[in-house]
Amino acid sequence: MAVIENLVLYLPTHPTKVYPKRDVKDIKYLIIHQTDSEDKGTFHVYDTARYHVNSNGWAGIGYHYFIIKDGSIFQTQPDYVISNHASNYNATSLGIVITGDHRLPTNKDYTCGDNEGMLGKTQYKSLVWTLAKLQTKYNIPFENILAHGQTGSSKSCPNLNMEQLKEDVKKKNYSSIFKKSQSVYSCLAY
């Protein structure tokens, strides 16, 4: 059973700044990011939120969903929040981040473009599951699942084979699995 644990109320936020809100019907894109740093488990979520607030001066963490190496999935902003994660796309997108600094491994067993080999099976499956869930929920075209680097950012993240990722998301048909009434605090499936 996959679970999205909601951490929204527990993460650091700016004392005076607040992110604007939107109608969720405006969500047209899913933007994938990577942290570019070693996975620290659940602490990574809190560290990233503190960094976004204290160093960047943002209202809160920039990502809506956060996936760590063990496959745990956290909601870090409500979907209706317009956060900072991809310039020119913030108002119409959700930001999903995976922990790690994903570069081409020197491992001889790695096949170029093998996302599961790059991330590890558990984290990759959680990423695909999350994207399939959100793609179904908001009826987002597969071509609108983008890497942060495809949004005009100078960053190359998440350094994944995006065509493979989209194909893996297409293989999932969650429309019959996801119920219309989802809990605000966690979403269960399978």
Q: Can you give the residue range of the structural domain that contains 76?
A: 2-13+20-189
> What was the pLDDT predicted at 181?
34
101: amino acid identity, one letter: D
Residue 109: which CATH number? Answer: 3.40.80.10
Per the structure, the count of domains in the chain is: 1
List the chain pLDDT tens, one digit each, 190 residues: 579 999 999 999 999 999 999 999 999 999 999 998 888 988 999 999 999 999 999 999 999 999 999 999 999 999 999 999 999 999 999 999 999 876 655 554 545 558 888 888 999 999 999 999 999 999 999 999 999 989 988 877 888 889 999 999 998 755 444 443 343 333 333 2
CA dist., res. 44 & res. 135, Å (int): 25
Q: pTM, whole model, 2 decimals?
A: 0.86
pLDDT value at residue 173: 57
